[in-house]
Structure 1
Amino acid sequence: MYDRILVALDDSASAQMALGEAVRLAKLSRGVVYALSVVDRGRWPAEATARYDFEPEPSAASNAATRIFDEANALFRESGVSGKTRAIDAYGETVPEVLARAAEECDADIIVMGTHGRRGAQRFFLGSVAESLVRSSQRPVLLVRHDGSGDAQAKA
């Protein structure tokens, strides 16, 4: 059913719920979970880093990704699920663009993603990565909504 499950991770409760849902799907289908975190380190021109021979310092986002992946790998082991983790630098792309491209690259059967379920002015001003991904992805997207109570609500 779902051989390759891509789950988008960030440092949020809804992403943790999405990871749990991805692991449950993988256990049912004996699939592989690809846990992905998009890191935006800012825009460093390639010629600048090559000319001065340095790497930008790890950002708070990349440090968070390391912690998130440690937790994901622990969950994979505990659940007996095969999983892989990967951080991808955005390099000027939007998060939905990076996620859609990554889903194509790993030939994901489904993308699982957490959402806050914002409405009204909050959604207008903050935008919705999940909504943008649903609209642009060629793959099925399962949204796991965090309603603030700790209960997950899955929406296909």
Structure 2
Amino acid sequence: MYDRILVALDDSASAQMALGEAVRLAKESRGVVYGVSVVDRGRWPGEVSARFEFEPEPSAASNAATHIFDEANALFRDSGVSGKTRAIDAYGESVPEVIARAAEECDADIIVMGTHGRRGASRFMLGSVAESLVRASQRPVLLVRHHGHGSGAQTASQA
């Protein structure tokens, strides 16, 4: 089924739901979850590592990623799922492009990502990272929709 599952992580409720779905898929298929958080520190590119590890740096973005990874790693451990986490600096590149490239690097069978499910003007004004990822990726994308305020979640169709 899915041997390598990449999940996009940030500090949102929809990302937490996507992480849960990625872990569920990994448990069913005995796969590995690759949790990726894209940060932008505004620096010029140096050497970009393709390894899945995180080396903390003193910044707000790094602190946020560390907290996100602590939660993800705890869920991996508690669920008995193999998982790895990685922070990637965007260096000015779009988040969907960075996620799509990370999926290629780890040869992901599927990308799981949370979405807020915005419609109309709010979606137009804010853009849709999820929609852009579906367009940018050569891999299947499973969107996990969060409706907010405790109204539950809905898993969208695989793109």
TM-score > 0.5, shorter chain as reference: yes
Aligned match of 2:155: 154
CA apart distance, 1:45: 7.0
How far apart in 1 are the matches of 2:38 and 2:115?
Answer: 15
1:98 aligns to 2:98 (yes or no): yes
Q: 1:18 to 1:154 in 2, by over 3 A?
A: same
CA apart distance, 1:124: 0.9
Amino acid at match of 2:17: M
Aligned match of 2:135: 135
1:20 aligns to 2:15 (yes or no): no
Amino acid at match of 1:154: T
Structure 1: tracts of 5 or more residues without a match: 47-56
Following TM superposition, the consecutive aligned residue runs of length 4 or more in structure 1 with deviations greater than 3 angstroms are 43-46
SS in 2 for 1:91: coil
Aligned match of 1:87: 87
**Larger Cα-atom Rg:** 1
Alpha-carbon deviations, 1:86-131, whole Å to 9, x = none? 0000001000000000000000000000000111111111101000
How far apart in 1 are the matches of 2:27 and 2:21?
Answer: 10
Q: 1:45 to 1:29 in 2, by over 3 A?
A: closer
SS in 1 for 2:7: strand
Q: Percent same amino acid among aligned pairs? A: 88
1:108 aligns to 2:108 (yes or no): yes
Question: Once superposed, what is the RMSD of the aligned Cα atoms?
Answer: 1.3
SS in 2 for 1:107: coil
Name the structure with the higher helix share: 1
Aligned residues: 146
How far apart in 2 are the matches of 1:62 and 1:97?
Answer: 20
Structure 2: tracts of 5 or more residues without a match: 47-56
How far apart in 1 are the matches of 2:117 and 2:61?
Answer: 23
How far apart in 1 are the matches of 2:152 and 2:59?
Answer: 31
TM-score normalised by the chain length of structure 2: 0.88
